[in-house]
A = this chain, B = another copy of it.
Amino acid sequence: MIIITQRTATEEQIEEIVAQLEDLGLAAQVSRGESRVIVGVIGPEELLREKPLASLPGVEAVVPLAKPYKLASADARGHASTVDICGVRIGGDAAVALISGPCSVEGREQMLSIARLVKDSGARILRGGAFKPRTSPYSFQGLREEGLRFLAEARNETGLPILTEIMDARDLPMIERYADCLQIGARNMQNFSLLKEVGRSHLPVLLKRGFSATHNELIMSAEYILNEGNENVLLCERGIRTFETGTRYTLDLSAVPILKSRTHLPVVVDPTHAVGLRAFIPQMSVAAVAAGADAIMLEVHESPETAKSDGQQALFPETLSKLLPRLRAVANAVGRDL
């Protein structure tokens, strides 16, 4: 950490800054420039975390040097991690995986039928929401445990592991009885109670980026999960909120190489929620694979015009099955399997 003093800082103020650092067991290096003094802090920066040094008289700015995350850091393992979801490996050198399914579980027949279709299209993990975060309290909120049962039945029939969202820490024991991978939705990315709770689960967690969270805030939320002992975290880019209203959100594909350079965690891309318009999802899926995504998550629905949620962004089944060869060709072009 570097402390930059104000031009008007007095000698007493600088001495006080140094004294405060030494009180904490840190060493201070004072460099005197033409118009101001710079204090370099030597020693573990964590000691300074609770200390609002920027409030000390004479301080203009405090520049942290250490990364705020440890367990998620690329340095922490030295190699890319692979997360195993019932035998489907994601990340590292594993093949790029397709995760697909409907937005919501709507019924038994629908779920079984889509599950078969998703499997036939080449997807390796089945997704479906039994608990739905909806902006309006009057919108469909999900089938809850009944939905989880339909998902589990679909897994039994197709062999695909299932991924489903958890919205409330109190539901964890129930969801753990059915699911193979938990999803934390964008709106809960900074629901720290929930993060801690899934951090104590034995299931892998797909953590979606909040739609206004920075890359580092996403990593810090992963750190909450890792810090509780759960080592199997997947980061998911799903679009950020910008001024542009032509798409539902703006898919930030640069997050893929950046997250992969800063952390060892696998990175999943969800083009469906980002773009929000069925017509442009295939191109963005292909681009996500090119950018280095470890998995692509796509919503599909047999009759989107009757879907209980997000119908206008779900792919038609035939689009999904035609998309797979293109995804594979691009994956191969950048040196990956799919």
Closest chain B residue, CB of each to CB of A211 = B212
A159 at interface by CB-CB < 8 Å:
no
Known A-B contacts A38-B40, A283-B292; the reply to A242 vs B246 at CB < 8 A is: no
Chain B contacts of A261 at CB under 8 A?
Answer: 279-280
Known A-B contacts A261-B279, A286-B334, A312-B54; the reply to A243 vs B243 at CB < 8 A is yes
Assembled-state Cα–Cα distance A4/B279 (Å):
18
Given A250-B240, A261-B279, A168 and B169 contact (CB-CB distance below 8 Å): yes
Within 8 A of B (CB), among A207-243: 210-212, 214-217, 220, 223-224, 227, 240-243
* Among B36, B136, B194, B247, contact of A258 (Cβ-Cβ < 8 Å): B247
A254 adjacent to chain B (CB < 8 Å): yes
When distances are taken between beta carbons in the complex, the residues of chain B under 8 Å from A65 are 4, 33, 36
**Interface of A (DSSP majority class):** mixed
CA A290 to CA B326, docked complex, whole Å: 10
Residues 270 to 321 of chain A near chain B (Cβ within 8 Å): 274-275, 279-280, 283-284, 286-292, 304-312, 314
Q: Name the residue of chain B whose CB is nearest to the CB of A63.
A: B63
- Surface stretch bound by B, among A45-53, A76-84, A93-101, A120-128: A45-53
A332 to B334 CA separation, bound complex (whole angstroms): 12
- Judged by a CB distance under 8 angstroms, whether A156 is at the interface is no
A330 in the interface (beta carbon within 8 A): yes
Q: How far is the CA of A194 from the CA of B309 in the complex (A)?
A: 22
Which of B191, B192, B242, B250 contacts A134, CB < 8 Å?
Answer: B192
CA distance A45 to B258 in the complex (A): 31
Q: Is residue A12 contacting chain B, with contact meaning CB distance below 8 A?
A: no
Residues 162-210 (chain A) with a chain B CB within 8 angstroms: 167-170, 187-188, 190-194, 196, 210
Please give, as numbers and ranges, the residues of chain B lying within 8 Å of A283 by CB-CB distance.
256-257, 290-292
Q: A40-B38, A284-B254 are in contact. Are A243 and B212 (CB under 8 A)?
A: yes
B242 in contact with A247 (CB, 8 Å): no
9-residue interface stretch from A107-115, A137-145, A147-155: A137-145
Cβ contacts A to B, 22 pairs, < 8 Å:
A29-B33, A46-B138, A49-B136, A50-B139, A50-B140, A52-B305, A55-B311, A55-B314, A69-B136, A133-B192, A136-B220, A137-B196, A167-B193, A212-B212, A242-B243, A250-B250, A253-B284, A253-B287, A257-B284, A261-B279, A261-B280, A330-B330
* Besides the known contacts A31-B31, A240-B250, 18 further A-B residue pairs in the complex with CB atoms under 8 A apart: A33-B42, A38-B40, A49-B136, A49-B139, A51-B306, A52-B305, A55-B314, A136-B220, A137-B224, A167-B191, A169-B170, A191-B194, A250-B254, A254-B275, A283-B290, A283-B292, A287-B291, A289-B290
